[in-house]
């Protein structure tokens, strides 16, 4: 879950949920987007098939992005488009292939509650969750619905390769077939497994201590 808007950057993949983390923006429904159920454990989301995955694109100003969604359209096919506030008289959240001011979204976050406001001329420009209608749409600021939260795709970094020190040998001149290993080092939190027969180690191999 994103708690600090300053950590968002172009290229991030996000989903938009209600603040109870039970529903997310889902399938396109003509003028809005239906809700779709998600699974949340310890503030981590496991999105379902119909969840709209949104890639942030820079819109030029701080904390301002175009929301490039990959979503299921009303025909059941997958497509991409930029979410935008589509009306000043109706609560329309739509997607289009082009970018303009009505698809330029200013994002702010306070106490884990996200505010996403489109910056164009259409005044129903505030993405909210409508629980009674089971959808996500755009509303005027003076007609609030349910608050939303933002979750970002998290990719666990791979640990760096272990490093070695060698007994009685210059590391830069490893001409020997056999070398005595003095120590193996790894990042904090990593466990090292090794073999002495040339096979790749697995978690069933000997643990180095």
pLDDT in tens, 71-82: 999 999 999 999
Tell me the C-alpha distance between 34 and 21, whole Å.
Answer: 15
Residues 88 and 83: their CA atoms lie apart, in Å, by 15
pLDDT digits 0-9 by tens, 60-109:
999 999 999 999 999 999 999 999 999 999 999 999 999 999 999 999 99
Confirm if 80 and 66 have CB atoms less than 8 A apart.
Answer: no
pLDDT band at 171 (very low <50, low <70, confident <90, very high): low
- Nearest CA-CA partner of 186 in 150, 159, 152: 159
Q: Are 65 and 10 in contact (CB under 8 A)?
A: yes
pLDDT in tens, 122-149: 999 999 999 999 999 999 988 889 999 9
| CA 118 – CA 205 distance, rounded (Å) | 55
Average pLDDT, the chain: 90
**Cβ pair 88, 121 in contact under 8 A:** yes
Are the CB atoms for 99 and 64 separated by under 8 Å? no
């Amino acid at each position: 879950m994103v708690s600090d808007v300053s950590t968002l950057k172009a290229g991030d993949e996000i989903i938009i949920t209600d603040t109870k983390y039970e529903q997310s923006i889902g399938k396109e429904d003509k003028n809005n987007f239906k809700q779709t159920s998600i699974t949340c454990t310890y503030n981590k989301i496991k999105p379902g098939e119909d969840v709209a995955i949104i890639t942030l694109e820079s819109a030029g100003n701080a904390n301002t992005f175009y929301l490039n969604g990959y979503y299921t359209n009303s025909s059941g096919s997958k497509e991409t488009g930029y979410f935008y506030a589509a009306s000043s008289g109706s609560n329309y959240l739509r997607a289009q292939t082009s970018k303009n001011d009505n698809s330029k979204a200013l994002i702010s976050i306070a106490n884990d509650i996200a505010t996403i406001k489109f910056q164009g001329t259409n005044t129903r420009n505030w993405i909210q969750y409508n629980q009674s209608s089971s959808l996500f749409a755009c509303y005027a600021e003076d007609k609030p619905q349910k608050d939303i939260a933002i979750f970002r795709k998290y990719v666990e970094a791979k640990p760096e390769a272990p490093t070695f020190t060698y007994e009685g040998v210059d590391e830069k001149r490893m001409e020997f077939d056999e070398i005595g290993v003095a120590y193996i080092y790894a990042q904090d939190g990593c466990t090292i497994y090794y073999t002495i027969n040339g096979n790749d180690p697995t978690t069933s191999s000997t643990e180095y201590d």
